[in-house]
Amino acid sequence: MRMMASIVMGAFATILAGSANAADLPFKAPPPAPPIFSWTGIYAGLNAGGSIQAIKQGLDRLIELAVVKSHSEGGTMIIPGHGRLCDQADAVVYDQMVTVVSDRIRDMISHGMTLQQVKDAKPTADWDPLYGKTSGPWTTDMFVEAAYKSLSAKGKEAPKK
């Protein structure tokens, strides 16, 4: 009987000691979620000869096709080329960013500002924390340059509605 009690007490002590050791292990926080979209989504269009207007039209069509969450089971989930899954509301926010930034750059061009002056004015500043990048294959600076070229190209851009 004494032998059995020793075995049970030993097993019980091992279980308790194991739990204490597991709690002492270092904890590594999960990485932050990637942004929904990034300037790289615009990279594919502008760097391949597209225009801001065409990107805007594509976003408008995507928003039109997407079903709102409250109208269907979970709504339409959009799978961007980069970033995480998103829904119509996320696409609307991105579309608004593209609209505001392109309007700012268009206005600066109409006032005769050079590319460097537009870059220095930081027309994307409001969205840089969410979408901006300073390194990698497509940076915020590269986006502004491509948008500037797209908006200043004569005959390429449809008139603003």
Q: Average per-residue pLDDT in the chain?
A: 76
C-beta of residue 158 within 8 angstroms of C-beta of residue 150 = no
Q: Does 31 have pLDDT greater than 80?
A: no
Distance CA 132, CA 144 (A): 11
Alpha carbons 96 and 116: distance in angstroms, whole number: 24
Phi, psi of 78 (to 5 degrees): -100, 135
pLDDT tens digits along 127-152? 888 888 888 877 889 889 988 988 98
Residue 35 tokens read as 């942004």
Instruction: Report domain extents, the chain.
Output: 39-152
For residue 110, pLDDT beyond 90:
yes
The whole-angstrom separation of Cα 144 and Cα 118 is 8
Tell me the β-bridge partners of 96: none
Q: What is the pTM of this model?
A: 0.65
42-73 pLDDT, tens digit per residue, is 555 666 667 888 888 888 988 898 888 776 67
Which residues on neighbouring strands pair with residue 86, listed in sequence order?
78
Give me 142's structure tokens.
Answer: 């590269």
Tell me how far apart the alpha carbons of residues 147 and 145 are, in angstroms, rounded to a whole number: 5
